[in-house]
Structure 1
Amino acid sequence: MTCQKDPEVVILSKMAYQTLQQQYLQIPPVTRAYTTACVLTTAAVQLEIITPFQLYFNPDLILKNYQVWRLITNFLFFGPVGFNFLFNMIFLYRYCRMLEEGSFRGRTADFVFMFLFGGLLMTIFGMFVSLVFLGQAFTIMLVYVWSRRNPNVRMNFFGLLNFQAPFLPWVLMGFSLLLGNSIIVDLLGIAVGHVYFFLEDVFPNQPGGGRWLKTPSIIKMLFDSPEEEDANYNPLPEDRPGGFAWGEGRRLEG
């Protein structure tokens, strides 16, 4: 006895799949790659294909046993699926995408270089504070950079607090404290985000200042296509933070 599928169901399924595929491919490449890697890593842990012990940051295992993958995997695991994981994924996807489509629009290589610079600095600092997973700190770094580049955006957090964008990382740190989490991770993300923001946005505009952060040519060659390069490009503020009840904002007039 054979079971035949309803042609209409098949057509609707194909249309839904194509729509999801189109939506996924519309996500900018760096945001798509990083968030996908985080979700797949968490799924692999949930399915017990791998364990967190194979992923966490351990300098001894990296240097002595050459387990260099830990330099990357410790940024990909946000803990078991639950509220903390979903919260981090939403903020990671949201602010990473807004940065990539905003001030890093057409500058994929520079965005990748920010990832590398931030990851290196966190890895160095992480050795002194004994952190084994740095993904949450990396998310806070992205939020911090976005918030400092959009100082006039008004935010609303869970409908309870109204504040301007630069306070968002500190509000998230307070929320993390209320949940009983360590704020060391948040402070690390804020510190690294501030270092990047200062070197990239503040110091070059100071008297006698200059650009210390320059994307290496090899990264530009790998990630920037000729269509992306635009000498006249002037980045616009990422003023589209809405879409969720927390962190929703609008730009102030004037």
Structure 2
Amino acid sequence: MGTMFGSAILTAAKIVDPYSFIMDFELFVYKFQIWRILTSFTYAGGFSFNLLMILLLAFFAVGNVERYFGKRVHDFYYLVLFACLSNLGLGYLLDNHYLSTQKFLYTFLYIYCKREPDGTITFWGFAFRGSSFPWVLMIFSMITGGSIFEILAGYAIGHLYEFLTQILPKEHGYDLLQTPTWFKRFVNWVDNFLFVHKQPAGQRQANNIRNLNRDDPGQEFNNANRFGAFRGRGVRIGGE
């Protein structure tokens, strides 16, 4: 969220050209403008009502999915990697110049709503079930002039993830998106690298053991945050 707000400030102040945030495969490959692969996920446009909605969506969708995974940090970051690569691939096939921010966030929204279909989400004063909220948000976007393609593309990627992780393993015995060992080790390495100077040696060793066992169910989410961070009261987006 901070990067979205910061990039909006930079473009509003005309310090940075908005096009420099957009993914352009030709410039990425031939001009080595490698930052575009990151900024295409962190730029959501200038200050507007649309930016406000995207910031609320980022806070709600990504935060709740992260809490849903609980201690399975490796699986959460593997989902992030899958969503990023899927968005980049889809963007390459359909358009050479694009942003992935909204598609990325709608992917997380769809996944959360599929995992919590009976949860209550309050949107501008109206309560909706999680199973119907993705389509409510799509209708709202149509009314306010938003991009339906961005929403449907994000939902498609989210549905693919749910199929590969929930349906395919249970019904056909194939777990194509099981988090690989090398990725778990990479996440552990990054975690240790970032905090190695902030923790005593004994604590670091305990954390290494803990990281090897981060495959517990998301019990933390289920017990403390049944429907997000509001402890079962229902999740509110927009309004008071």
Matches within 5 A, 1:69-88: 69-88=35-54
Partners in 2 of 1:175 and 1:66 — Cα distance? Answer: 39
Equivalent residue runs for 1:1-254 within 5 Å:
35-102=1-68, 104-130=69-95, 132-160=98-126, 162-215=127-180, 216-223=183-190, 225-226=207-208, 227-230=210-213, 233-236=216-219, 237=222, 239-241=226-228, 242=234, 244-246=236-238
* Alignment CA distance shift 1:232-1:117 (3 Å): closer
Partner deviation per Cα, 1:189-245 (whole Å, 9 max, x = no partner): 001111111112222211433343324244332356433554672224452344535
Q: 1:182 to 1:42 in 2, by over 3 A?
A: same
**Gap runs ≥5 in structure 2:** 192-206, 229-233
| Structure 1 residue matching 2:98: 3-state secondary structure | coil
Q: Secondary structure at the match of 1:163?
A: strand
| TM-superposed deviation, 1:150 | 0.6
- Hey, what's the Cα distance between the residues in 2 that align with 1:141 and 1:66? 28
Contact residue 120 and residue 227 of structure 2 kept, 8 A: no
CA contact (8 A) 2:44 2:54 kept: yes
* Larger helix share, 1 or 2: 2
Count residues in correspondence: 212
Code of the residue aligned with 2:114 in structure 1: it is: R
Q: Distance in 1 between matches of 2:75 and 2:239?
A: 26
Amino acid at match of 2:163: F
1:41-74 per-position Cα deviation (integer Å, ceiling 9, x unaligned):
2222222221211110111111111112111101
Structure 1 regions of 5+ residues with no counterpart? 1-34, 249-254
CA RMSD for the aligned pairs?
2.4
Q: Which has the higher contact order (CA 8 A, sep 6+)?
A: 2
C-alpha separation between the residues in 2 aligned to 1:119 and 1:229? 25
Task: Give distance in 2, aligned partners of 1:245 and 1:57.
Answer: 29
Q: 1:54 to 1:213 in 2, by over 3 A?
A: same
Give yes or no for contact 1:107–1:229 (8 Å, CA) kept in 2.
no
TM-score, structure 1 normalization: 0.74
SS of structure 2 residue aligned to 1:166: coil
Matches of 1:142 and 1:190, distance apart in 2: 8
Q: CA deviation at 1:116?
A: 1.3
Question: Which one-letter code corresponds to 1:244 in the other structure?
Answer: R
* TM-score normalised per structure 2: 0.78
